[in-house]
Structure 1
Amino acid sequence: MGSIQIAKDVITLTGSAAIVSEFFSYAANSILYQRGIYPSDSFGATKKYGLTMLTTNDTKVKEYLTAITSQLAEWLEKGKLQRIVLVIMSNATSEVMERWNFTIHTDKDVVEKGGSREKSDKEIMREIQAIMRQITSSVTYLPCLDEPCTFDVLAYTDNDLSVPFNWAESEARLINNPQVVKLHSFDTKIHKVDALVSYKQEDDDE
């Protein structure tokens, strides 16, 4: 009898960059929906990663995320992207309420010498599913955002990279003494993404 083997898929640098940048787009949409940054009726359901994902129908938000996704893919291919952070802030005060942090570890050998890696697409999808499910369940432990909020995306890149004209230098927008919840990670064998969310602790009642 022959042994059963899991089919391995060839992952190229371009393919890996596409997987990670697309993941961020869907993760961002899910965060914006789950955290109520925009009205729930401005999102539509679509199938992705074997799950029902919600994505924005707002044209401006869509265009903004599409432009970000495209730029992230370019940086990922160059091996220059270290971290992506989605920051949720108070509309009124700009105080940072949450930071959704995605740290990227890149196989520099593939960037510098070319080549590819092998990993099952299904395995990558299962790992991404686990993160998406954690984002959905985040409403069970994150404090309610009881005021209108907005969001921004920060990208941490290597220092030798010039800032594109449609991006601007920004401060880190940190939270003092945050609570931190580590999320699952996923790995294409070229890019590994570690995820966590940090958030502002609720004030104790006097």
Structure 2
Amino acid sequence: MLIQLVMNLTDYGINSILYQRGVYPGDSFKREKKYGLPLMVTQDAKLQQFLTPLLKQVEFWLYKKKLKRLVVVISEIKTKEVVERWQFDIETENVDEEGPNSTRQKDEKKIRQEMSDVIRQITASVTFLPLLEEPCSFDVLIYTGKETEAPENWEESGAKLIDNPEQVELRSFSTSVHNVKTNVQYKMD
């Protein structure tokens, strides 16, 4: 159950970023109500084909306690220059998630409120982020331990950093097992 909450934040977080930043046209998203918020979720078949296996792999690595970080990178299509990096740092405690003797419990309502706060901040970030004036694409970088095997059709990538970025720490959220810290780095004009 806790892993599912982290998965939901990842899924809705990626969708919100792509919608809010205009990486995909607004009409390729539909409104869904979750966590007391109207969230935009893609209806684009190609984007769903990309995200579904990616999220399944993220879920697998969460179960295995291998996932360390997920980064959504937004780049200009023409120049390939990275203009934004949305980073989700994930720390997983080395305890049984839902064991009957677990002494570490956190109210699910509190967890959902924290998730809602993160999504709200992603949505509000359009007020301070520079306008994306050129058409952009995105990629998702996944950081795991060195010993972790990647799926066959995945490839190694550089960190896709931004030179001298501005950085804004966003809210974090936690379950009794996971701590998720979020930030956005962006290129100033």
Distance 1:191 1:165 in 2: 28
Q: Is the 8 A contact 1:25 1:66 kept in 2?
A: no
* Contact 2:73–2:139 (Cα < 8 Å) also in 1: yes
Provide the residue aligned with 1:90 in structure 2. 76
Q: 1:79 aligns with which of 65, 74, 77?
A: 65
User: Which amino acid in 1 is paired with 2:64?
Assistant: K
Aligned to 2:137: 150
Q: Distance in 1 between matches of 2:41 and 2:15?
A: 5
1:3-40 deviation digits (Å, cap 9, x = unpaired)? xxxxxxxxxxxx22221122111000000000000111
The unaligned stretches of length 5 or more in structure 2 are none
Deviating runs (4+, > 4 A) in structure 1? 113-116
Q: CA deviation digits over 1:45-91, x for unaligned, max 9?
A: 00111111001110010121111111111101111110000000011
TM-score (norm 1): 0.87
Identity, in percent, stands at: 48
2:111 alignment partner in structure 1: 124
| 2:181 equivalent to 1:191 | no
In structure 1, the partner of 2:52 is: 66
Aligned equivalent of 2:18: 32
The one-letter amino acid of 1:186's match is F
Cα deviation 1:159-189 (Å, max 9, x = unaligned): 1111111321101000011000000001011
Offset at residue 109 of structure 1 (A): 2.9
Residue 161 of structure 2 is aligned to residue 168 of structure 1: no
Distance 1:75 1:187 in 2: 17
What is the distance in 2 between the residues matched to 1:91 and 1:105?
32
Q: After superposition, what is the alpha-carbon deviation per residue over 1:114-167, rounded to whole angstroms, capped at 9, x for unaligned?
A: 964421111011001111111111110000000000000000000111111132
Which has more radius of gyration? 1
Could you tell me which amino acid in structure 1 is paired with residue 5 of structure 2? I
1-structure distance, mates of 2:57, 2:105: 25
Q: 2:86 aligns with which of 93, 100, 125?
A: 100
Distance (whole Å) between structure 1 residues aligned to residue 49 and residue 157 of structure 2: 21
Q: 1:110 deviation in Å?
A: 2.8
Give 1:182's match in structure 2, choosing from 169, 173, 181: 169
Confirm or deny: 8 A CA contact 1:22 1:69 kept in the other structure: no
Structure 1 gap ranges (5+): 1-14
Aligned equivalents of 1:196, 1:81: Cα separation in 2 = 17
**Aligned Cα root-mean-square deviation (Å):** 1.4
